[in-house]
Amino acid sequence: MSTQRGTGPRRVTVADLREMKRRGEKIAALTAYDYLFARLVDAAGVDVVLVGDSLGQVVLGLDTTIPVTLDDMIHHARAVRRGVERGLLVVDLPFLTYQVSRQDALRNAGRVLQETGASAVKLEGGSPEIAETVATLVGAGIPVMGHLGFTPQSVHVTGVRVQGKGEEAAERMLADARRLEAAGAFSIVLELVPGALARRVSENVDIPTIGIGAGAGCDGQVLVLHDMLGLNPGFAPRFLRRFAEVGQAASEGVGDFVKSVKDGGYPGAEHTFE
């Protein structure tokens, strides 16, 4: 693999993702919220590391992403940056950090890049107003990933359900995707979208689509790390595959530790300094 200034692996860029789509090579994306997990997913070859505002639920114990603040995102993204050498680091802009005005969006997105070392930001929606915000950020040199379908920051309006059902809704989503592409977005996440529609969107834009609960027709896939590792056992939507049961193993390990401390088995003589 080529290197950058001889210091390590060359980082994935937004241009690389477009080239991957052109070649038909699938894009693998995962979330990360701390240094150790970031180092793990990056070393495993993940192309995009997303510091998602999903940290509200899986790290902070919140019910939705809405209470997550910009400072929360920056704090976690700084830790993740230290663990990522290769993957493209993308950070979610949280609720009300980009919807009020384009000036707010530019200021907040700029903070994210300056204070974390991330390469790009992600924001939700595809309305003309959001597209204008995307164009403003891209015009200032800030790469933007879009997000259509179920948008968690709008959960109180839409509920948690599949989006884009019916021809009218499908046409609207396709128009939103084209609008985001025209505004300069380098990629679009499609969440909880019918598989046929996700494939249709993917075939009608030149930028990569990354699906979550959107079928196999997208140009890549993303999952929340804690979900796919089995660390969040109460969350089991149909689209989720658990690729490991880390939660179960951790629970058993902690239980063994407690038992060993209680019965005097740990620390043993071999772990005692004389």
Residues 6+ apart with CB under 8 A from 44: none
Q: Are 225 and 244 in contact (CB under 8 A)?
A: no
Gap between the Cα atoms of 84 and 38, Å rounded: 6
Residue 181 annotated in active site = no
Phi first, then psi, for residue 155 (nearest 5°) are -60, -35
Q: Are 110 and 117 in contact (CB under 8 A)?
A: no
Structure tokens at 217: 């027709």
Of 124, 168, 191, 203, which is the active-site residue? 191
Angle between helices 167-183 and 195-204 (to 10 degrees): 30
- 148 - beta bridge partners? 190
Q: What three-state secondary structure class fits 220?
A: strand
Give catalytic residues, as residue numbers: 191
